[in-house]
Amino acid sequence: MNEDKFFITTPIYYTNGIPHIGHSYSSIIADTIARYQKINGKKVKFSTWVDENSQKAIQKAEELGMEIMPYLDMMASKHKAVWDGLNIEYTDFIRTTEQRHRDLVQKVLKICRKRGDIYEWVYEWMYCIGCEAFKKDDDLIHIDKETGLKVERPVSGKTKAVCPDHLTEPQKIKEKNYFFRLSAYQDFLLDFYTKNPEFVVPQDRFNEVIAFVKRGLEDFSISRETNTFGIPLPHPPFDENQVAYVWFDALFNYVTVCKENQEWKDDSKFWPADLHIVGKDIIKFHAIYWPAMLKSAGYELPHQILTTWFFTVNGQKISKSLGNVIDPVEFSEKYSKDLLTLYLLSSFNIWQDWDFDEKQAIFTYNAKLANNLGNLVNRVVVLSLKLWWILKSSKDILNQVVNFPIWSEWSVTTNLKSVFINFYNNVKEWYENYNLKLILDESFSFLDKLNKFADEKQPWQMIKYESKQEETRDILFTIAEWLRQVGLALYPFFPEKIAEMFVKLGLEKYAERLEKWELEKLISEKPTFEIKEKWENLFNRIEIL
């Protein structure tokens, strides 16, 4: 395993619409983890973009009366604008209509066929376009045709069987297809899971995957005869007029970006992927189909899959027809990208379904970023400017046993330096375990304590007395150092604002140094804060209307 690289992916998004706030969740999580890995010294590759060979997109283009390729070009650039608008620091973009991807998928199809893993069969089944997946009777629910409400049992003529996620009736299909022999991979997968006990995070989801595989696997169709758009199966060895099933094509995007990167160069050193981020709805494809497909095609398997949960808006599934779609770029332009990141990553666990609430998002931002962090930075800057400009510790405060009670919960026998090192060791572990919520919670609770400390000490009063100026300076230094340490932990979430905070605190070139992987050095470095001027507030409060 190459320890110096980190290859992270988001799902590639369908192009029947523009990414909404739900989609932005996967990308913001991926972005935060990628940024952490980068400052942590890894060479990061981060791929994303669009899954184009889907029937949904074709339907949408038809609805708009557009030819498919101009439609896909338009949607690809709209998707890119969303990720750029959110300042997602991807390194690789992939469209599945690109020639490099078509070449790779066709090559892989030939390899899998040669291995005997692909065979033909005339096939009769149901297909849900919303899921781009085949369905069986057991996968469907029954709803009343008139009311649309779910019923326990079907009643002839009155109810219909629909997909539980899309509430639409699946298409009935009978055609000749090619099948992938997934059933032959059951033992291989179970063995792989045993040897890689952290392959799927969280464990509960992994247990479900394992139980599913243990119940026995069925082969799945990897081609469509009736589709006119998509990657053609290479002829020979396959029949003409068959295109690859969208999932067989889409999953290989992760390999394409390594084998044939944007500049058409070989970037193979990044394969296998270190982390795939996927929603819980698509875990089956990634944790079961994908390792089997890779094994068949002769590639190494990815290290880990992080499963994320879903959120609703106003208690409802996000949908255009319900009018609750939130555009993540408009939302962050209205408030701020930091508000969006903070709310999405701090209010709920990645492994929990939840409801997005705009007012709550503003409360959270005001409390944590504007008050807790922003005000404190402001206080230190203003007070330091009154007297010294340069804040350094008059004595070696960091290494001394703390000689003033910081707050009652903490033992006075602890020195500040070990407090910080301990804090950052925890932060690192949480980043490695993708516990982003805990990093935010602990950082802001650290800052809460620091605010309490400032309120107790009242350096703004002390500063008036000449005899207390030395002590005031130590207090301000302590607060500034605290902010610096928390800033290092929070940088991957709010890179621009934290970089600005470092500048306000008179710490030159910190963002640059972080980008040059100097995180470790910075954590243990003894700083001098050369505070030079009063700046605008770091975060302005937002009024709730």
DSSP element (H, E) containing 275: strand 275-279
Per the annotation, the verdict on 23 as an active-site residue is: yes
Residue 320 is among the residues annotated as catalytic for this protein: yes
Residues 6 or more apart whose Cβ sits within 8 Å of residue 516: none
| Residue ranges that bind ligand MSP, judged by CB under 6 A | 11-14, 22-23, 25-26, 51, 250-251, 253, 278-279, 281-282, 310-311, 318
We find the least distance from the C-beta atom of residue 536 to ligand MSP, in angstroms, to be 34
Looking at 115-202, list the stretches that DSSP marks H as alpha helix, in order from N- to C-terminal side.
186-195
CB of 166 to ligand MSP, least distance (A): 11
Shortest separation between residue 379's beta carbon and ligand MSP, angstroms = 38
Catalytic-labelled residue, pool 101, 112, 135, 163: 163
Measured from the CB atom, the residue of 234 and 279 that comes closer to ligand MSP is 279
Of residues 167 and 367, the one with the C-beta less far from ligand MSP: 167
Choose the catalytic residue: 45, 101, 112, 131: 131
Contact 295, 287 (CB under 8 A): no
| Beta-bridge partners for 267 | none
Contact between 132 and 247 (Cβ < 8 Å): yes
Q: Catalytic residue, from 172, 195, 265, 320: name it.
A: 320
Question: Shortest CA distance to 497 belongs to which of 334, 336, 327, 381?
Answer: 336
The nearest distance, CB 248 to ligand MSP, in angstroms, is: 10
**Closest residue to ligand MSP using C-beta atoms:** 279
Judge contact between 20 and 312, C-beta under 8 A.
no
- Does the active-site annotation cover 131? yes
Determine contact, residues 170/128, Cβ cutoff 8 Å: yes
Please confirm, yes or no, whether 128 is among the known catalytic residues.
yes
Torsion of CA 344, 350, 351, 355, to 10 degrees: 10
The residue type of 393 is S
- The residue from 128, 135, 286, 497 that is catalytic is 128
Residue 316 or 461: the one with the smaller Cβ distance to ligand MSP is: 316
Least separation, in Å, of the C-beta of 22 and ligand MSP? 3
- 163 catalytic per annotation: yes
Tell me the β-bridge partners of 120: 178
264: left (phi over 0), alpha (psi -120 to 50) or beta: left
Active-site residue, from 166, 284, 303, 392: 166
**Type of residue at 246:** V
Query: Where does 208-318 show beta strands of DSSP type E?
Result: 220-221, 223-224, 243-244, 275-279, 305-308, 311-313
> Closest CB to ligand MSP among 55 and 91?
55
CB of 96 to ligand MSP, least distance (A): 9
Nearer to ligand MSP, 23 or 497 (CB): 23
Judged by CB, which is closer to ligand MSP: 308, or 366?
308
Q: Is 166 a catalytic residue?
A: yes
SS3 466: helix
Q: Give the active site residues.
A: 20, 23, 128, 131, 163, 166, 317, 320
